[in-house]
Amino acid sequence: EADIYQTPRYLVIGTGKKITLECSQTMGHDKMYWYQQDPGMELHLIHYSYGVNSTEKGDLSSESTVSRIRTEHFPLTLESARPSHTSQYLCASSASSEQFFGPGTRLTVL
Amino acid sequence: AQSVTQPDIHITVSEGASLELRCNYSYGATPYLFWYVQSPGQGLQLLLKYFSGDTLVQGIKGFEAEFKRSQSSFNLRKPSVHWSDAAEYFCAVGAHDYKLSFGAGTTVTVRA
């Protein structure tokens, strides 16, 4: 059973606020990922990390930033939220090519 | 770069009927292939995967998929659908850089 957690599950926030979406995994996976998913659309990779202190931007440009100070933790931060950031954000981790997903955070920016 | 096409945006099937979801991929080498299922408001759950070997792979919840290299396809099947199978299904292809590319998904509706 995969153990990967995301908080909050739902977030409604006003424009201009700074937010951090949390993602933690207890499987000791070295690789972690953030995806953005809009309704009816595929998942788009926005950030990934292959280990501590290693982060890369994904295929979809995003104004968010990430950090990887500990193996188990991969938070995503938006310095100034805008309505265009409204989406579902999914975190995943892997030891190989098979990725395990968290439940997601649904973000709404008013 | 790899890519995935799921030609069917939405499929409606009667409970007890068979289901087949299509997936075509584009990748220059032998791909890693996955099917994930997503229920409303949830993350993705892995149904099955293909890395190598037997081209017919069995997954959870009674699903199976067949890898056909000549057709660049990895179609998902279930012989008899249950109402709980109503969800969105995503096909994904992986490369040796550990990144996945996903299709746009197929929404399955199950009617009684």
Cβ contact A42–B51 (<8 Å): no
Does residue B29 carry a pLDDT above 90? Answer: no
Q: Would you say A4 and A102 are in contact if contact means Cβ atoms under 8 Å apart?
A: yes
Cβ contact A42–B102 (<8 Å): yes
CB-based contact, A5 to chain B, within 8 Å: no
What is the C-alpha to C-alpha distance for residues A31 and A60, in angstroms, rounded to an integer? Answer: 18
Nearest to B98 among A94, A100, A101 (CB): A94
Q: What is the pLDDT of residue A1?
A: 54
Most confident of A39-43, A64-68, A97-101: A64-68
Give tens-digit pLDDT for A9-20. 999 999 999 999
Q: What CATH number does residue B67 fall under?
A: 2.60.40.10
Does residue B44 carry a pLDDT above 80? Answer: yes
Alpha carbon of residue A33 to chain centroid: 6
Q: Would you say B33 and B49 are in contact if contact means Cβ atoms under 8 Å apart?
A: yes
B42: which chain A residues are within 8 Å (Cβ-Cβ)? Answer: 103-104
Class of domain A4-109: mainly beta
Q: What is the pLDDT of residue A2?
A: 56
What is the C-alpha to C-alpha distance for residues B62 and B12, in angstroms, rounded to an integer? Answer: 18
Cβ contact B98–A106 (<8 Å): no
Give percent above pLDDT 90 in chain B: 79
B44: which chain A residues are within 8 Å (Cβ-Cβ)? Answer: 43, 90, 92, 101
What is the C-alpha to C-alpha distance for residues B17 and B79, in angstroms, rounded to an integer? Answer: 7
- Residue B39 lies in domain: 3-111
DSSP character for A70? B
* Residue with the two structure tokens 């951090």: A20
* Residue with the two structure tokens 């030609």: B7
Quote the number of domains for chain B: 1
Cβ contact B103–A45 (<8 Å): no
Q: Where are the domains of chain A?
A: 4-109
Decide: residue A84, CB within 10 A, 0-12 exposed, 13-18 middle, 19+ buried: exposed
What is the C-alpha to C-alpha distance for residues A59 and B63, in angstroms, rounded to an integer? Answer: 30
Give tens-digit pLDDT for B67-78. 999 999 999 999
Average pLDDT of the segment spanning A66-85? 96
Is beta strand B24-26 parallel, antiparallel or unpaired with respect to B3-5? Answer: antiparallel
